[in-house]
Amino acid sequence: MDGGLMVTNEFNIVDLMNLGVAIAIIVAGTLSVFYIFFGGISFILSGGQEDKIKQAVHTIRYAIIGLIVTIFSVTIIKILGLVFGFDLLSLITWDRITVLMNNLITKIASGTTGQNLPGSGNLR
């Protein structure tokens, strides 16, 4: 319980939402690319069997649709951020996400509030 209070004292809700959106976008994009690759391999290894070809094509098609939806969501988030004055996409750099996740995990695991970790409380 102390860890939960500590996290909310150091990180505000907007910062945690920014981090969650950034991680979700990165995970969605990565999974889409992985499934495009997996569908391509399945297509190559189908051996001319119609059902395997259809399954591989469906995998590729839905992965591309997922990638397009991810790109559109980034665009919509950016537009909404400009309209409401939030910079929701400021965390989408790999270095920044890893530092913030490490800080968050360290604060939760250690249970100390007196630590002065770089970047803590200043996520934007």
Q: In whole angstroms, what is the distance from residue 99 CA to residue 11 CA?
A: 14
What residue ranges do the domains of the chain occupy?
A: 2-110
pLDDT (tens digit per residue) in 72-96: 988 888 888 788 877 666 666 677 7
pLDDT (tens digit per residue) in 5-18: 444 456 667 667 77
Q: Residue 37 above 90 pLDDT?
A: yes
Q: Which residues contact 63 (CB under 8 A, 6 or more apart)?
A: 32, 33, 34, 35, 36, 38, 39
pLDDT mean across residues, the chain: 77
Q: Residue 117 above 50 pLDDT?
A: no
What's this model's pTM, rounded to 2 decimal places? 0.61
